[in-house]
Amino acid sequence: MKSLGLRWRVTITFAILSLSVAAIVSGSTYAVASLYLSSQRTDAAITRASLDARAVAASLRAGAAPGESLAQLPVVDGSQPMLRIGEQWFTSTVAVPPDLLPASLLDEGARTGAQQRVEIAGEPYLIIAMPLDTSLFVEVFPLRTLDATLTFGGWGLVAVTVLAGALGAFLGWYVARRLLVPVDQLGAGALALAEGHLDARLPDAGDPDLDPIAHAFNEMAEAVQARIAREQRFAANVSHELRSPMTAISGVTDLLEERTPDMAPQDAKIVDHLARQVRRLSRMLVDLLEISRMGANEHIETEPVDVRALAAQVVRAQGLSDDIVIGPPAVVSTDGRHLERVFDNIARNAQSHGEGLRAVSVADQGPAVAVHFDDAGPGVDPELAERIFEPFVRGEAADPTSGAGLGMAIVLEHAQAIAAMVSVGTSPLGGARVTVLIPRADPS
């Protein structure tokens, strides 16, 4: 299972920490508030019941009737006073019938006084019972308001907890985003460098802890650019310096070839072998010059190019019939010079190393056009296919006199210049298949 990215991990961590802290604070706040409010309500109810009991006792001693004694009591927060004399109950209201009062509470209240929180008909009440001279005084206090207050406060704390978690998640996302900006820039710069954009550089973040990373990357990129430039100049200079003596050697070789009919068979054979090696070396120098001229900053001239027509032109240049080119006309916006070099080197490679080019098929793939080159050879080993675009890489069965193994490297250089993709696989005809995927639009 793929693990979450750093940004998500930081976001989730901040959210969990914020949620945990908020939950602890909210839970503690609710517990303290609930205990305090309940204690305050109970103390107030006991005080109220004590005062009411004294008032009823004094009224009864003065000869007032039980009902009159209860009627003179003020009703506070919906309280209901009751009086039991013998087995008879007296009450000012009937909100809570006496027969619903807990018997254990009444028994204990008649002896020493008692209090108890109960639910009657689904409503919470606090019942306080106090003994009088010859009777029992009971007062019932509704707790609906207190419970509603605690419920509202509890849900408010839950909302605050959730909000704190969301705020923590946002803060984590923001912090991770800010921290990962230099990392994202570093990744983008490295990708651009890998794609051949040697002038890619990172801007300063304005942070003393992060700027050294950008400076180190920029120094590395400059070193890579300078090294590649030196290698290109070296290859170009060597190839250029070798062209003059190579031209002279080629001239002498051509002259010797013209005189082979007058030579002894042994001498003619030596001259023929020399001529093949000289031509091979000449082609290698031309290829080296071409690779050294290629670069990430090479100018691209975009124009409409008919891929099928260009493939047919390249096939005819190889001395083959353009009947092997199949598929509909397909026009792309690209640099025709680079694309021609891609097709030409693939076709020449198939002719030299793949026992001949058998088919070229053009396929429309929406935003891109695919061109498949199928040869008649034995195919390409999977291990070799991974390295075939490297310079001087050839198959074991390749003719050592047919080239230096630079053709496919040149193909890759030209393809990258026009943002085309090249791959090697197995042809349905039995040989190797080289596929060129060309974007329809100019990538720039």
The two tokens of residue 399 are 């003719």
Please determine, for residue 130, whether its predicted confidence score (pLDDT) is greater than 50: yes
Question: pLDDT for 85-126, tens place per residue?
Answer: 888 999 877 788 888 889 898 889 888 889 999 988 888 999
Please determine, for residue 295, whether its predicted confidence score (pLDDT) is greater than 70: no
pLDDT-derived band of residue 247, with 50, 70 and 90 as boundaries?
Answer: confident
Mean per-residue pLDDT, 413-432: 86
- What superfamily would CATH give domain 303-439? Histidine kinase-like ATPase, C-terminal domain (3.30.565.10)
Cα separation, 38 vs 143, whole angstroms: 9
Say yes or no: do domains 6-150 and 211-293 share a fold. no
Handedness of CA 297, 299, 301, 307 (dihedral sign): negative
Question: pLDDT for 140-187, tens place per residue?
Answer: 999 998 888 889 999 999 999 999 989 988 888 888 877 777 777 777
Domain boundary assignment for the chain: 6-150, 211-293, 303-439
Task: List CB contacts of 12: < 8 A, sequence separation 6 or more.
Answer: 4, 169, 172
Cα separation, 147 vs 140, whole angstroms: 16
**Fold category of 6-150 in CATH:** Beta-Lactamase (3.30.450)
Question: pLDDT for 280-294, tens place per residue?
Answer: 777 766 666 666 666
Nearest alpha-carbon partner for 98 in 87, 107, 89: 89
**CATH class for domain 211-293?**
mainly alpha
Question: pLDDT for 344-368, tens place per residue?
Answer: 889 988 888 778 898 999 998 888 9
336-353 vs 307-317: helix crossing angle, rounded to 10: 40
